[in-house]
A and B are shown apart, each in its own frame.
Chain A
Amino acid sequence: MLHYIELIFRNLSVWGLPVLMIITGIVEFALGLYENKWDKNERILDIVCFVVPKIVIRPAIVYFTLLALPALLPGLKGIFSWVPFFWGFLIIAVADDLTQYWYHRLHHQVPWLWRFHRTHHSAPYMGMAMASRQNLLYTIFFSQIYLTAALTYLGLGYAAIFVTGLKSLITTGAHSSIKWDKPFYTKKWLHPVAWVMERLISTPATHHAHHADTTDDGVGYYKGNFGNMFFIWDVIFKTGIITRQYPSGYGTKNYKKEEWYAQFLWPIFKSKKEGSELSADGPMVAQDPVEEPALNYNITRVAS
């Protein structure tokens, strides 16, 4: 049994996930979940972000693993290969995902980092393409990739296959416009499962809230819900909210439909749109337009 699971996860990390993402994307498109917001500029950006990192990042990781690590950590290859699978899985899962939580949170809370992450939040829709829609530099410096490569070099590679596979499935599912978690909230007998699930992993409800264009509806929370695979980090650090609802709109209020190449390659290429955060003389972080707050809600607020 474990052998078959291993085969699935091994293939998932090579070609399985891209195939799964393309199928999900076709289903989302066929169901009209992009709501006619997927114009030419967005299409090019989503496709470039999906394809290019797979060509650029994989060789970078191979280089890092085969050449840089033996030089940086000589004689330590496989030194922890005795670690039992369960513990290896737990060590990698925590190390990888907590590092990504921090990488992600810092890009939201440290103003000068925001523009490297803005591309991930600019789309006025959700979909599986959002999982890979990132500025190239943000993707290259994904710190958890290198940490996991280092742990693989030290002997935890077998567990890493399972963690990265599981993480890919959860993050793709959390970004998808298919709200697979809805039955957990609508069927009462599933509520106990939902309670645990929404605190443990990212779901469409909690992660869509992170991609909302406003916090005024009491559902959107782009100032938090930073967790990628695990949501538990947001619970521990009080940076999340759980509402079991989906926001009314996605993206950022100050989106100026910047050119795909500027979004993908800022600051190498800059936007020509006046006042854009990605333009040469634009603000580091644009101020949101002031709106009347709406009344609501039934929120589990775990944010401070």
Chain B
Amino acid sequence: MKLEKDTARKLTRDIIISLFIYALPVVLMLLTFYVNGQRPWKEKTTATILNNH
């Protein structure tokens, strides 16, 4: 029993759309950081350095 052509086409289309959905929260997060001028990854590095002293 083979995968129907129409099903295969829809699967391919929806998988491509999914890749954008996977990326969406990350993109929105980075956009928020950009707009607000936040750099949380740097804050963490600073805190680690301070803790080491």
Is there contact, CB below 8 Å, between B25 and A82?
no
Chain B positions within 8 Å of A111 at CB level: 1-3
Is there contact, CB below 8 Å, between B26 and A285?
no
Is there contact, CB below 8 Å, between B40 and A109?
no
Is there contact, CB below 8 Å, between B1 and A84?
no
Of residues 1 through 29 on chain B, the ones whose CB sits less than 8 Å from some CB of chain A are 1-3, 7, 10-11, 14-15, 17-18, 21-22, 24-26, 28-29
Is there contact, CB below 8 Å, between B10 and A304?
yes
Which of B11, B24, B25 has the largest count of A CB atoms less than 10 A from its CB? B25
Is there contact, CB below 8 Å, between A87 and B25?
yes
A109 and B8 alpha carbons, distance in the complex (Å)? 9
Chain A positions within 8 Å of B34 at CB level: none
Of residues 77 through 96 on chain A, the ones whose CB sits less than 8 Å from some CB of chain B are 81-84, 87, 90-91, 94-95
A139-154 Cβ-contact flags toward B at 8 Å (1 or 0):
0000000000000000
Known contacts A91-B26, A111-B3; decide if A102 and B18 are in contact (CB<8 Å): yes
Name the contact of B22 in the complex, choosing from A94, A237, A285 (C-beta under 8 A).
A94
A91 and B25 alpha carbons, distance in the complex (Å)? 6
Chain A positions within 8 Å of B26 at CB level: 91
Q: Answer yes or no: B53 CB below 8 A from chain A CBs.
A: no
Is there contact, CB below 8 Å, between B17 and A237?
yes
A284 and B2 alpha carbons, distance in the complex (Å)? 10
Q: State the Cβ distance, B45 to closest chain A Cβ, in Å.
A: 8
Chain B positions within 8 Å of A170 at CB level: none
Is there contact, CB below 8 Å, between B24 and A109?
no
Is there contact, CB below 8 Å, between A94 and B21?
yes
A107 and B46 alpha carbons, distance in the complex (Å)? 47
- Interface residue count for A (Cβ, 8 Å)? 22
Is there contact, CB below 8 Å, between B3 and A109?
yes
Chain B positions within 8 Å of A106 at CB level: 11
Q: State the Cβ distance, B15 to closest chain A Cβ, in Å.
A: 7
Is there contact, CB below 8 Å, between B3 and A236?
no
Chain A positions within 8 Å of B21 at CB level: 94, 98, 236
Known contacts A83-B29, A111-B3; decide if A98 and B44 are in contact (CB<8 Å): no
A105-120 Cβ-contact flags toward B at 8 Å (1 or 0):
0100111100000000
**Closest chain A residue, CB of each to CB of B18:** A98
Known contacts A102-B15, A110-B3, A304-B10; decide if A94 and B40 are in contact (CB<8 Å): no
Chain B positions within 8 Å of A87 at CB level: 25, 28-29, 32
Known contacts A94-B22, A111-B1; decide if A82 and B41 are in contact (CB<8 Å): yes
Known contacts A91-B29, A98-B18, A110-B3; decide if A84 and B40 are in contact (CB<8 Å): yes
Beyond the given A94-B21, A98-B21, could you list 4 further A-B residue pairs with CB under 8 A, ordered by the A residue number? Answer: A82-B43, A95-B22, A284-B1, A285-B1
Name 16 interchain pairs, CB-CB below 8 A, sorted by A. A82-B40, A82-B41, A84-B29, A87-B25, A87-B32, A91-B25, A94-B25, A98-B21, A102-B15, A102-B18, A109-B11, A110-B3, A111-B1, A236-B21, A284-B1, A304-B10
Closest 3 CB pairs of A and B: A82-B44, A111-B1, A87-B29
